[in-house]
Amino acid sequence: MSSPSHLALVPFVSVKNMMALVHHIGLETFLTELTDEIEADFKRWETFDKSPRLPSHSDVGVIELMPTSDGEHYGFKYVNGHPKNMRAGLQTVTGFGVLASVDTGYPLLFTEMTLLTALRTAATSAMATRHLARKGAKTLAMIGNGAQSEFQILALKAVCGIKAVRLYDIDPSATQKCADNLARSGIELIHCRSAEEAIEGADVITTATADKNMQTILTDNMIGNGVHINAIGGDCPGKTELHRDIVARASMFLEYPAQTRIEGELQQMPLDHPFTELWQVITGQALGRRSEDEITLFDGVGFAIEDFSALRYIARKITGTSYFEHLDMIADPDEPRDLFGMLARAKSAS
């Protein structure tokens, strides 16, 4: 058993060390392993505490806490969403996370989660696509070429075998940025001038737009039979990306209904609109795609179990490496009841 002094020093993964760890593992390997980690936790979905994230909304964005526990570990993520930040040269989404021991309540890991959220979001889309897209899907339409796009594309390449990507963003410089970043990825990249052009011939469509409004990035007449859609941009109340007729026509799969009902494409639909929880497909309790012509829709808003999976993955991967530092975060008096004495002695020592 670890000594109290050891437990008081919490492993911390900075942005610098997170980037170094990803490159040490290899980005596509990281995404593949993280996809498998999330899927393993979805297979034990019923063991987790579950609740919708706790949001604090303002006129300019949202700040949220996303907690869960499997009875052995507790994890949470702090995350924001501020679309206006981009105009000031700031990230739209930032985050950090904590993994703790349920047995002691002591934190076991503190880590940046701005990068890690992008990675786990991409891994979750890849997991959904692996279970819901037609076999042999090779072409992706990536609509919204901002901070999430490259991660989405590389996860679908690594996990699902995507070979060609049709890119579109209302800002052509975002598309160029994405194409430049992936120039050596081995993926065929096609610049498109509209969403309609981007989805031509696509087997999988991923929408990842940031505007905090009710949008219709895709309309019903644009969507042909057999495609799989990852709608991941509609992640707060009043924010959607798909025309409701697409949602009505597709077979919908989602993470946690109580959260998706508030935040996802599902918020457009009546209370009796049918859906399937993704964990039930992964465990074999429900069917995924039923036919080649079926339109499948993953209404992905992001859920705390995915962050929990990412936290545990990082905690395991940093073991025995130099990709973290220790933070002196927990008070550690010689006598657990003498917190004041520890403070008093610190004054004498100074």
Residue partners of 124: CB distance under 8 A and separation at least 6: 35, 38, 300, 302, 306
What is the value of pTM for the model shown?
A: 0.94
In tens, the pLDDT along 135-186 reads: 999 999 999 999 999 999 999 999 999 999 999 999 999 999 999 999 999 9
In tens, the pLDDT along 296-343 reads: 999 999 999 999 999 999 999 999 999 999 999 999 998 999 999 999
In tens, the pLDDT along 197-231 reads: 999 999 999 999 866 565 788 888 999 999 999 99
- pLDDT for position 153: 98
Does 203 participate in catalysis according to the annotation? Answer: no
- Give percent of the chain with pLDDT exceeding 90: 85
Top CATH class, 4-115+305-349: alpha beta
- pLDDT for position 1: 31
- Single out the residue of 55, 75, 50 nearest to residue 65, CA to CA: 55
Query: How is residue 307 written in tokens?
Result: 């962050």
Mean pLDDT over the full length of the chain:
94
- Single out the residue of 11, 3, 21, 4 nearest to residue 108, CA to CA: 11
Contact 169, 144 (CB under 8 A): yes
- pLDDT for position 5: 58
Q: Which amino acid is at 83?
A: P
Contact 232, 149 (CB under 8 A): no
Tell me the DSSP string of 87-101.
GGT--S--EEEEEEE
- pLDDT for position 169: 96
* Residue range 134-302, CATH number: 3.40.50.720
- pLDDT at position 50 over 60: yes
Residue ranges per domain, the chain? Answer: 4-115+305-349, 134-302
* Per annotation, catalytic residue among 235, 299, 332, 338: 235
Task: Tell me the average pLDDT across 32-41.
Answer: 98
Q: How confident is the model at residue 2 (pLDDT cuts 50, 70, 90)?
A: very low
